[in-house]
Structure formats: structure tokens, C-alpha cells
Amino acid sequence: MSIISDSLKRIKPSPTLAVTQKARELKAAGKDVIALGAGEPDFDTPDNVKDAAIKAIKDGDTKYTAVDGTPALKKAISEKFKRENNINYNTDEITVGAGGKHVIYNLMMATLNKDDEVIIPAPYWVSYPDIVLLAGANPVVIECSEDQGFKLTAKDLESAITNNTKWLILNSPSNPTGACYSEQEIKNLAMVLKRNPHVNILSDDIYEHVVYEDFKFFTMAQIPELKNKVVTMNGVSKSYAMTGWRIGYAGGSKELIKAIAKIQSQSTTNPSSISQAAAVEALNGNQDFISIRSKAFQERRDFVVNSLNEINGISCIKPDGAFYVFPNCKALLGKKDKLGKKLENDTDFVQSLLENNNVAVVQGSAFGLDGFFRISYATSMKNLETAMKRLKEFCESLS
């Protein structure tokens, strides 16, 4: 009899972390690998945030805190929601966890039962379906085609809802595509959800501040009639370049927030006290650098999209947010690389690209849509220029 639980057998390791680890191993072995797999800003955490953490250490702020967040951080989060999103969440309607993934995990573990269904538009962030499976429920994946901008339509949402549907997960701006839902698109989905009051909504807003041109961010909880059905998840990892600090947070009903705290009390307990102090400064401090960094991301996006669309066999739509693109490589599948290996699918494509031209990307099938691959352009322009040159050489070498 296996010692491993049946629930663990239902899931797989994170493909994005696997690609990142493989790239690290090749670099350690002396390979000149350019890693475009990780969803991590290459910018450093702002100095005022680091200074706040240092001060917290010197002040002895190194003890246990309240399970789901300090009063100071909850207050800062409440004020952020009001200031930036015009959403009123009291501090007892806010939870803080060790990263956004942790908050989502707690939420699903606290609410899902056997036979419950969670609607997940694809392409999706790789962890959504596996977290649902770990909680013993069923992910219902809706494929959102490139022709519809990789976004869920109201018609497809309505068709997918059953009596067992408990959650819809909506991620905008999106990982892996960078697709952003406009206010009108959110409202179109909301019309369906109003007709189905048994469906709750997890709005993953972690890339909220990484948007381009004049795109106006809008989130589901801004619709008053749905606010009590929505959990709005966010964090400091992407906007403030604080991935390693591990602070995510969410606003929702008191009942759900209390349930999340109960789960967290029996697992991790509180997030790091130092990280929480740093997050307070991140949310309350100067925000000017966000637009400056978004401008840099936009310049990289434009370069990468233009470069991709100049490669025969590759096409790529220009996203409105996040720091990813999701190019189409279907025209190159079935060809052979210079070692004679036939590229049967997008997994073969990205493995061959890494092995032959030292560029690490993630296959689209990991995100629920075959024939694509994800590039993270959260790296230097120098790295991107070299990577695009290598990608072009790789594609031209296929026969």
C-alpha cells in the first residue's frame, strides 16, 4: 500500500517551476541559458519597503502576529481597496496569507466539497486546477480561443454553469496571456452571475497595476450586487517586486474570511511579521515607481511582440497587461529540429528550443491550451534581444 495520499496523486508539480529549475540546472552546468519561464519582476524591491523591513527587525517586530494578518496591514489593505478600487472592505473582511497562491489554496480548501465544480477559463494559471483537485472538487475548464482574445464570454460561462458550480475563477490581467477584461466585459459576465446566485467568484487581481496604454482596470467586486459573492485576491509580489516576501491578501465576506483563518490556523499560522511590516509600507508609501516600471514592461512587450511576429511560423497578439505573451507555434509543429527530432506538440517545441538554443519558455499545454508557449518578458532588454535572436534561429532551423 502506497504511503502517498490519493489526493496528491491527482495533481502534478508546477510546470512553470519545473522549467525554472531546469534552466537553473543548465546554468549551473555552464550553459548560457536565458530563462523566460518565471513570472517574477526583474526589478528590485523599492528601498523604502526594504527600509521598513529593516526597521521592523531592529524594533523587535519578530514575534507571532494575528493568524491572518496584523491590524496595521489589514488597515493598509482596506485603504488600498477603497482608494484604488472603490471597494469597501472592513478589516474583518480581509485575510493575509503567505502569498497569493496560499490565499487561493486556503479559500478552496475552506469552501469546496466532493462533486463541487469550479469554472476555470483556459489558458489558466497552472495552479488553479490542481488546487481544486487537492480540495476534492472538479475543475471545469472552458477553452477561450485566441480569436476571442483568450477571454471568457458570457455565453460560454452560462453554458458551463450547473447546479454543482460553486466558483468561477477570473484572472485579469491574465497569466499566461496578459489578456485584460474591460469593464464592459466584466459586466457582461456579471449579468450571467446575477442569474446564478449559487456561483461565487474568485477575482485574481495580482497583476492589477501591470497594464498598458490607457487600459482601465476594473474588478468584479466593484459591481455592488455581486460584492458579497466575490473574493478579491491581490498581493504585493508583482506590483512591488516582492515575490520572495510571500504576502498575498484578499477581501471577502466575514464568513469566508473567518473560514480561511481557521484553515490557516492549522497550517502555516501567520505570514512573516517582517514581510507584513514591509507590505504596509508598500501599500501606504510612494507609488510613483509603479507607472515607471509599467512603462519599461510596455517597451519590452512591444519589442517581444514585434520580434515574434517577424518569425515565420510564429504569431502573437499584443496583450493589455501582465508581463507575458502567449505566442502561437502551431504552424511549426510536425517539423523536425536539427537533431532530427519531430516536434509533435508544444512540449516538444519548448524542450527542443531549450536543448538546442538555450532559451527556456513554458509550453501552452501547461496552461490548458495546446499549440502555444508562454514568454515572460520580466527580464532585461539585453536578454530579450538575445532570446528573440535565438528563437528566430531555432524556428528557421526546423525542417
Residues 39 and 68 occupy one common structural domain: no
CA atoms within 13 A on the CB side of 323: 28
Give the pairing type, strands 165-171 and 362-363. unpaired
Are residues 120 and 166 both part of a single domain?
yes
3-class DSSP state of 189: helix
Torsion of CA 40, 43, 46, 52, to 10 degrees: 40
What pTM did the predictor assign? 0.96
Annotate 240-273 with DSSP letters as a single string.
TT-GGG--EEEE--HHHHHHHHHHHHTTT-SPPH
Among the candidates 255, 284, 313, a domain finishes at 284
Compute the distance between CA of residue 71 and CA of residue 58 in angstroms, rounded to an integer.
20
* Cβ atoms of 68 and 270 closer than 8 Å: yes
94 and 243 in a single domain? The answer is: yes
For residue 89, the model assigns a pLDDT of 98
Instruction: Report the alpha-carbon distance of residue 169 to residue 233 in Å, rounded.
Output: 11
- Eight-state DSSP code of residue 94: E
User: For 265-321, how does the pLDDT look when each residue is reduced to its tens digit (9 = 90+)?
Assistant: 999 999 999 999 999 999 999 999 999 999 999 999 999 999 999 999 999 999 999
CATH number for position 95: 3.40.640.10
- β-pairing, 94-97 vs 248-251, is antiparallel
Question: What CA–CA distance (Å, rounded) separates 349 from 354?
Answer: 9
Within a domain: 57: no
Count CB-CB contacts under 10 A for residue 213.
8
Rounded Cα–Cα distance for residues 139 and 131 (Å): 9
Lookup result for grid cell 514591509: 278
Nearest to 125 by CA among 199, 16, 274, 200: 16
CB atoms within 10 A of CB 294: 17
Domain boundary among 237, 263, 284: 284
Q: Are residues 89 and 192 in the same domain?
A: yes
Q: Within a domain: residue 97?
A: yes
Residue 22: predicted pLDDT: 79
355-368, pLDDT tens digit by residue? Answer: 999 999 999 999 99
Q: Are residues 269 and 143 in the same domain?
A: yes
- Which residue among 228, 257, 284 closes a domain? 284
Residue whose C-alpha cell is 510564429:
314
- The strand pair at 138-143 and 117-122 is best described as parallel
Q: Which three cell numbers stand for residue 118?
A: 469550479
Domain count, the chain: 2
1 lies in some domain: no
| All three cell numbers of 71 | 491590524
Task: Going from the first residue of the chain to its last (399 residues), give the mean pLDDT of each consecutive group of 10, the final group possibly shorter.
Answer: 84 76 83 89 96 98 98 98 98 98 98 98 97 97 98 98 98 98 98 98 98 96 98 97 97 98 97 98 97 96 98 98 98 96 96 94 96 97 98 97
- What are the strands, taking DSSP E only, across 230-353? 230-235, 248-251, 324-325
What is the per-residue pLDDT for 29? 86
User: What gap in Å lies between CA 12 and CA 347, rounded to an integer?
Assistant: 15
Residue 384 domain-assigned (yes or no): yes
Residues 272 and 380 in one domain: no
Check whether residue 146 and residue 21 sit in a common domain: no
Helix (H, G, I), strand (E, B) or coil at 95: strand
In a domain, 170, yes or no: yes
Residues 186, 203, single domain; the answer is: yes
Q: Checking DSSP bridges between strand 230-235 and strand 200-204, what pairing results, if any?
A: parallel
Whether 357 and 305 map to the same domain: the answer is yes
Q: Which residue has the cell 488546487?
A: 131
> Is 246 part of any domain?
yes
CATH code of the domain containing 35: 3.90.1150.10
CB neighbourhood size of 217 (10 A): 21
Say yes or no: 35 and 110 in one domain: no
310 burial (CB, 10 Å; 0-12 / 13-18 / 19+) is exposed
Contact 193, 145 (CB under 8 A): no
Q: Is residue 49 in some structural domain?
A: no
Identity of residue 76: A
49 in Cβ contact with 266 (< 8 Å): no
The residues near 92 (Cβ < 8 Å, ≥ 6 apart) are: 254, 257
Kindly state whether residues 295 and 189 are assigned to the same domain. Answer: no
- The per-residue DSSP string of 80-93 comes to HIIIII-----GGG
Clarify whether residues 202 and 263 are in a common domain: yes
Give the structural domain span for 318.
Answer: 6-44+289-397
**172 lies in a domain?**
yes
